[in-house]
Chain A
Amino acid sequence: MSTFPLLEVDGLERRFDVSAPWLNRVIERRPKQILKAVDGVSFSIPRGETLALVGESGCGKSTIAKLVVGLYPPSGGTITFRGDERRVQMIFQDPFASLNPRWRVGRIVAEPIRTLEPGRPDAEVEARVAELLATVGLNAGDGTKYPHEFSGGQRQRISIARALAGEPEFLVCDEPTSALDVSVQAQILNLMKRLQRQFELTYLFISHDLSVVRHMADTIAVMYLGRIVEIAPTAELFAHPRHPYTRLLLETIPDLEAPKRDRTPMAGEVPSPIDPPEGCAFHPRCPLAFDRCKTERPELAGEPDRHRTACFAALPVASAASCVAPARAQSRST
């Protein structure tokens, strides 16, 4: 019935050793310190779809991006990619840092072609580069310029052209528009959606911005301290958020359609991932936390492939819809 997803990530873990130097540890009798940046994450992305990872700084979303493209080896778990591994590309957040300032744009865009197909004649590569620049809305003549001659949005177009040069089937986009102004962001998001339709691309889209994610993603996974706390199809997640963290996040974002409202912001801050709280990592900030949350860690549960939540207090499916409104009222009055 269903074909296998293009990417399957199962129980993915990545630990970083952040201990003090060996001598200090011996003298000051300090134990090793391990940071669990990604702590047992599982998801899958069907071909042609977009999965978004969303969360605040330090939740592990960018680490997952680097694990998926192979920039870091995983400490545990598996990543299964059912496609040509050479056809995975990445778009980075900062278009100022991700383009070599001493290379002309044409050479930057041609690099994946020259790496993957070393024998291809120069004339063909040049024609392909001109075509790619046109695809992302730049002039063919821009190939002879250097990156500093372009604005942030144009540079991100160059990054996209370079990613497309490898004829990818899978693109990992790590905050591709976070460094851009909103009107330029709209241009890039529209371009990325058009390219996805045109080339049947599959995206892993990483962002901290829920409104961008809503626009781009088919499925959203909300992360907190290295774990997915809720995963659901986009419309479902926005209509019936179940995890208290997701609800508080949605409650916190400024809403342009309800300007000038007064509300009580979520108290507290994301704890340090070096020393996360016992049990559910969110329990110290959670309005619904009870004793079990402090000792036991909830696993993702719910309908597989639909809506899953890692929370003991999240409500069962039937009443989930009706709980949203009172929960909002409650968080406003506290």
Chain B
Amino acid sequence: MAEPVLDIRNLSVAFPTRHGVLTAVDDISLEIAAGEILGVVGESGAGKSMTGMAVLGLLEPPGRIAAGEIRLEGERIDQLGEAGMQKVRGRRIGAIFQDPLTSLHPLFSVGDQLVETIRFHLKLGRDAARARALDLLREVGIPAAESRIDHYPHQFSGGMRQRVVIALALSADPDLIIADEPTTALDVSIQAQITALLKRLCREHGTAVMLVTHDMGVIAETADRVAVMYAGRLAEVGPVAEVVRQPRHPYTKGLMGSIPSLRREVEELVQIDGSMPRLNAIPRGCAFNPRCGHAGPRCRKERPSLAHGRVACWLEQGGVQP
């Protein structure tokens, strides 16, 4: 098998605080192949954005990578330091964030921002860079790109702005794109346009994409594989159609059942009682055990690993009894 573009091994992200060390991402391993979209899904605080930020080298201090390694095309990037990451970020890893208005500089035209990014990473002349900027704007579907290139971010609608952000992320033809909730701020019809665009670009350029979102619908629509996160850990990883249709982890099952269906009437939605534990109160054993209907003694003592198969659950690995 070809080497994955992104290879995360046993990554842990920790935040030392006065009240002890909080582990936001706890021993997760993931890989993404060229041209593949991996969806990372979970509820607020599950650690999905933190994983993306760790890959980008953008963890806010005091957050830091406490263990594990991150490899981009076989080369370790988790120890590069700020100067080294500046050459990787933008050039080899592109980023798309939730709010396109805060990702763009309000005082520069989108053309200037694109030209600056392209020239920083690709060492092109001003004219060549502008020509590339125009091509990129056309590629992401900005109508009348020749005149729009000199407009400022506030002159674009939300959907168009997110297209500009995607053009920026693509400007140096990166190997990997981290898209963190790229459609959350957009209306459904615009959301569909942006996911379709991401899919097309990923296919055409062979870019690996890590799509971080809380929206299972967007994942089902866009991703090839999905990783479900809970309390900083991976609960389940697998091909999207399998995880969506036949979820195996009790948390994934509950999550899928709690989404109202467009096709069927249900009297009552499946309800997972309680809420995700705070980082300072993650239970021993399986993090989901207090909310799980199947939990046994083993679940309260030992943490299940994802090593054998795609589900981190004792039900799948020899039962819940010790």
Residues of A within 8 A of B (CB): 56-57, 151-154, 181-187, 189-190, 193, 208, 210-212, 214-215, 235, 238, 248-250, 252-257, 259-267, 269-270
Contact yes or no, B275 A255, CB < 8 A: no
The interface on chain B, measured as residues whose beta carbon lies within 8 A of the other chain's beta carbons, has a size of 47
* Chain A residues, CB < 8 A from B157: 269
Contact yes or no, A186 B258, CB < 8 A: yes
* Chain B residues, CB < 8 A from A153: 275
Q: How far is the CA of A262 from the CA of B202 in the complex (A)?
A: 14
Contact of B262 among A187, A208, A214, A260 (CB under 8 A): A214
Q: How far is the CA of A266 from the CA of B221 in the complex (A)?
A: 15
* Chain A residues, CB < 8 A from B190: 269
Q: How far is the CA of A56 from the CA of B186 in the complex (A)?
A: 9
Q: How far is the CA of A252 from the CA of B189 in the complex (A)?
A: 6
Contact of B221 among A185, A186, A260 (CB under 8 A): A260
At the interface, yes or no: B159 with Cβ under 8 Å from chain A?
yes
Contact of B216 among A154, A215, A256, A260 (CB under 8 A): A256
Q: How far is the CA of A270 from the CA of B188 in the complex (A)?
A: 11
Q: How far is the CA of A186 from the CA of B218 in the complex (A)?
A: 18
Contact yes or no, A256 B220, CB < 8 A: yes
At the interface, yes or no: B59 with Cβ under 8 Å from chain A?
no
How many Å from the CB of A220 to the closest CB on chain B?
Answer: 12
Contact yes or no, B258 A255, CB < 8 A: no
Contact yes or no, A270 B258, CB < 8 A: no
Most buried by A among B160, B217, B224, B241: B217
Contact yes or no, A183 B255, CB < 8 A: yes
Contact yes or no, B240 A260, CB < 8 A: yes
Contact yes or no, A181 B44, CB < 8 A: yes
How many Å from the CB of B212 to the closest CB on chain A?
Answer: 14
The 4 A-B pairs with the shortest beta carbon distances in the complex, nearest first, are: A254-B217, A186-B258, A265-B192, A259-B220
Contact yes or no, A235 B265, CB < 8 A: yes
Contact yes or no, A253 B266, CB < 8 A: no
Contact yes or no, B269 A190, CB < 8 A: yes
Contact yes or no, B214 A181, CB < 8 A: yes
Q: How far is the CA of A257 from the CA of B266 in the complex (A)?
A: 15
Contact yes or no, B261 A211, CB < 8 A: yes
At the interface, yes or no: B256 with Cβ under 8 Å from chain A?
yes
Residues of B within 8 A of A (CB): 43-44, 157, 159-160, 187-193, 195-196, 199, 214-218, 220-221, 223-224, 240-241, 244-245, 254-263, 265-266, 268-273, 275
* Chain B residue nearest in CB terms to A267: B193
* Chain A residues, CB < 8 A from B256: 256
Contact yes or no, B260 A208, CB < 8 A: no
* Chain A residues, CB < 8 A from B257: 186
Contact yes or no, B241 A211, CB < 8 A: no
Contact yes or no, A184 B218, CB < 8 A: no
How many Å from the CB of B99 to the closest CB on chain A?
Answer: 14
Contact yes or no, B220 A181, CB < 8 A: no
Q: How far is the CA of A249 from the CA of B262 in the complex (A)?
A: 12
How many Å from the CB of A158 to the closest CB on chain B?
Answer: 15
Can you list 15 contacts pairing A with B, beta carbon distance less than 8 Å?
A181-B44, A183-B271, A186-B260, A189-B269, A211-B259, A211-B260, A214-B261, A255-B217, A255-B221, A256-B217, A259-B221, A259-B244, A260-B241, A263-B196, A269-B189
How many Å from the CB of B71 to the closest CB on chain A?
Answer: 27
Contact yes or no, B261 A182, CB < 8 A: no
How many Å from the CB of A1 to the closest CB on chain B?
Answer: 27
Q: How far is the CA of A262 from the CA of B220 in the complex (A)?
A: 11
How many Å from the CB of B39 to the closest CB on chain A?
Answer: 10
Contact yes or no, A253 B272, CB < 8 A: no
* Chain A residues, CB < 8 A from B272: 183, 186
Contact yes or no, A215 B266, CB < 8 A: yes
Contact yes or no, B258 A185, CB < 8 A: yes
Contact of B271 among A154, A190, A211, A252 (CB under 8 A): A190
* Chain A residue nearest in CB terms to B194: A265
Contact yes or no, A187 B271, CB < 8 A: yes
* Chain A residues, CB < 8 A from B218: 254
* Chain B residues, CB < 8 A from A183: 43, 254-255, 258, 271-272, 275
Q: How far is the CA of A56 from the CA of B245 in the complex (A)?
A: 29
How many Å from the CB of B296 to the closest CB on chain A?
Answer: 22
Contact yes or no, B265 A266, CB < 8 A: no
Q: How far is the CA of A252 from the CA of B190 in the complex (A)?
A: 9
Contact yes or no, B187 A210, CB < 8 A: no
Contact yes or no, B263 A257, CB < 8 A: yes
Q: A184-B275, A187-B271, A253-B217 are in contact. Are A259 and B187 (CB under 8 A)?
A: no
Contact yes or no, A181 B43, CB < 8 A: yes
Q: A215-B265, A260-B241 are in contact. List 11 more A-B contacts (CB 8 A).
A: A181-B214, A182-B216, A186-B271, A187-B273, A215-B260, A256-B220, A256-B244, A257-B262, A259-B244, A264-B196, A265-B193
Most buried by A among B196, B223, B262: B262
